[in-house]
Copies of this chain bind each other. A is one copy, B any other.
Amino acid sequence: MKFATLPDGTKDGRLWIVSRDMTRAQPAIGAHTMQELMERWDEVEIQLEMEYEAVNNGLGGGFEPAAALAPLPRAWQWLDGSAFDSHGALMEKVFGLEGAFKPDFPFMYQGLSDRFYGPTQDVRFPTEDDLIDFEGEFGIITDAVALGTTATEARTHIRLVVQINDWSLRRIAPLEMKAGFGWVRAKPACAMAPVAVTPDELGPAWRDGRVDLALNIWWNDVKFGAANGYAMSAGFDELIAHAAYSRDLVPGTVIGSGTVSNENYREVGSSCIAERRGIEMIDDGDAKTGFMRFGDRVKMEVFDAAGDSVFGAIDQKVVKA
């Protein structure tokens, strides 16, 4: 199934069910909002599958992905991992953190979740001097996950897969990281691509709790990266189990992969500017690519084997707050 949330004047928006080809949609009847869907998934799943079949068969009206809110416009919990080791290694280089402590558990922080930007909303920052960067990620949304849930058990709790842009301020990020408390000022609200999909929609590209597809990124219409999501050192199932070690996960918990990154980054490119700068530091001794300026745009989109968009596009402009 595919879902989007369209504006209706409320903070949570209205849940719509979207056709497989993303050309048609209609308001969901089984659940009014995405949050309600995550709380009542088991009860309403069969109803929604029937609605999905109907919209695939021509029911509903035209769907305009760019008009959507984030599929979950606000969440009770957003936990972002950092599961791509090649990203971690490059960020150590950029931040001057070589030799930093490596835990024997997945990296994860709790981030701002009271708002996820829609896919085409402008993103506000105080100043370019904070070194504005995008971070392309995959994410999942869970239903209720009990404390102590194992990675194997966690797989059935991955109800939806989403695509995320985790906005970051690189001047502040290493300082907050060195303080050990994680990120507050360096990580304002993230954005989500317009459509959330059930894992089965990904077909063979959903493997081992990972998305085996490239995340295409353009910065001001210039192709920037196409790293594949499969290279996570811990899958989403393991990230869920990590998070649920000492807490119940509330329905509608969003868990992120961290910046998608591959070892062959020189061929596939990167999913954030800081990584490219790390590569430049390795290859040329210093970083020459600058960060984003007000007015810059970033676009992120994922295509399946047939060349069709999976989540719709994130296409955002950076503006002064």
A residues in contact (CB < 8 Å) with B: 74, 76-77, 79, 82, 97, 100-103, 105, 107-115, 124-126, 130, 147-148, 169, 172, 175-186, 188-189, 242-243, 245-248, 250, 253, 321
Contact = CB atoms under 8 A, between A and B. Distances in A.
A43 to B, nearest CB: 17
A19 to B, nearest CB: 32
A79 B184 contact: yes
Contacts of A103: 175-176, 178-179
B112 A181 contact: no
Contacts of A188: 246-247
B181 A178 contact: no
Nearest to A77: B114
A127 to B, nearest CB: 9
* Chain A interface, DSSP helix/strand/loop, else mixed: loop
A111 B110 CA distance: 6
Given A108-B184, A112-B77, A184-B110, A147 B126 contact: yes
B247 A189 contact: yes
Most buried by B among A102, A169, A181, A245: A181
Nearest to A189: B247
A293 to B, nearest CB: 17
Given A76-B113, A175-B103, A246-B188, A82 B181 contact: yes
Contact of A179 (B101, B183, B189): B101
A112 to B, nearest CB: 6
A181 B107 contact: yes
7 contacts: A77-B114, A101-B180, A110-B112, A126-B246, A180-B180, A184-B243, A188-B246
